[in-house]
Amino acid sequence: MWEGLNIRQRAYLLACFHEDREAELRARAARAAFRDPGPASAWRKLPFSMKTELPFADYTTIQERLREEGHLDAGAGATLHALARGGLLEITEDRVDIPQVGLVHRVLVELTRAGRACARAGLGIAPTPRRPAHLLSERLWRNLARVAEAGTDGRPEGAMGGTSRFYLGVGYRPNGRPSRGYIDSFAVRVEKGRGTFVLEYRWRITEAGRQHINAHRSEYQSRYPAVQFSIPDPL
């Protein structure tokens, strides 16, 4: 597919690819800080242009890259649609509020899997090995390790971040499939007056979670070296 693209189409595809990778890095950084970046279907939609005249709207990051390379001109739309017809990206629109202008239509581009693979081939980047089915994503592994690190005291509900509890916690069925069952919630109760009240809910590791960590700890450390934790070996 890369060989079938002309120089201009390659430049547009690579500009989108570089911004796609930046968006992925931002999403990872948000997860590392226990913030939810939202679904990939949202943050992979990259702003390409604003349908308004300068100087009311700045160039987008993708446009700036193309401008520096001498490829940004009135034919940008035709090039994007050529890539879309080839199945390498998808084009959508939304509206954003710009001061002194109001609501303005914005053109968004989203690389398809084929588009990312084509760009990697053009750059000589080896494809990322697929994660084995028995291993968790980096986000889920980070949350599991933090719960294990908390020990019997457990990890506060508010520190879990995002939707990880639904994929790791006992009793959930995300997307209709049973969760891993590696962590479970428990209530911290306090006595007040003549009654007992729930102060908060916390999460702690289950036996299945301990077995998973003990069996695959080295694989995770190799795959996700940025996830640092301090838990006994074996757990």
pLDDT single digits (tens) 37-69: 888 889 999 999 987 765 556 789 999 999 999
Residue 140 CB neighbour total at 10 angstroms? 18
- Delimit the domains of the chain by residue range: 7-123, 138-223
User: Cα separations (Å) of 40 from 23, 63, 112?
Assistant: 9, 22, 12
Q: What's the confidence (pLDDT) of residue 176? A: 79
Tell me how far apart the terminal alpha carbons of the chain are, to the nearest angstrom: 48
89-98 β-sheet, strand order: 46-50, 102-111, 89-98
Q: What's the confidence (pLDDT) of residue 234? A: 87
What are the pLDDT digits (tens) for 12-26? 999 999 999 999 999
Question: Rounded to two decimals, what is the model's pTM?
Answer: 0.64
Q: What's the confidence (pLDDT) of residue 55? A: 59
What are the pLDDT digits (tens) for 155-210? 998 888 778 888 999 988 887 788 999 999 999 888 877 778 888 899 999 999 99
What are the pLDDT digits (tens) for 106-162? 999 999 999 999 999 999 998 777 888 899 998 899 999 999 999 999 999 888 877
What are the pLDDT digits (tens) for 202-211? 999 999 999 9
Residue whose structure tokens are 């102060």: 199
